Amino acid sequence: MSEHIAVTGANFETEVLKSPVPVLLDFWAPWCGPCRMIGPIIEQLAAEYSGRLKVGKVNVDEEAELSSRHGIVSIPSLVVYKDGALANQTAGALPKQNIEALFKDLI
């Protein structure tokens, strides 16, 4: 029951920049322990805010150029876009309420 989309360099403009709702991007990697820790929280938020928030995951190993464009130096990194513009960004494994605070006032 995956509610997120895989964001790539190829679909970034369509899925993120042209999205009618705010977008939460999770920059992650399969080998990253903290990324795996927040993974279930990200999935839960995707389900809870379905229709009001789009959630995308960016695999930094597969999307190095996209990660570099966002200045990602540590993972997990969470980036929020609204109306095609960067609205918020943070890094680290955060509790659910802190992740929600990144986008809640934008929806």
Task: Identify which of 93, 96, 2, 86 has the alpha carbon closest to the alpha carbon of residue 41.
Answer: 96
Catalytic residue chosen out of the listed positions 7, 23, 25, 35: 35
Catalytic residue chosen out of the listed positions 32, 38, 75, 94: 32
**For the whole model, what pTM was predicted?**
0.94
Q: Going by C-beta distance under 8 Å and a sequence separation of 6 or more, which residues neighbour residue 30?
A: 36, 59, 61
pLDDT tens by residue, 63-84: 999 999 999 999 999 999 999 9
What is the mean pLDDT of the segment spanning 24-38? Answer: 97
Confidence class for position 3, pLDDT limits 50, 70, 90: confident
Catalytic residue list contains 32: yes
Going along the chain from its start, the domains and CATH numbers come out as 5-106 (3.40.30.10)
| pLDDT above 50 for 1 | no
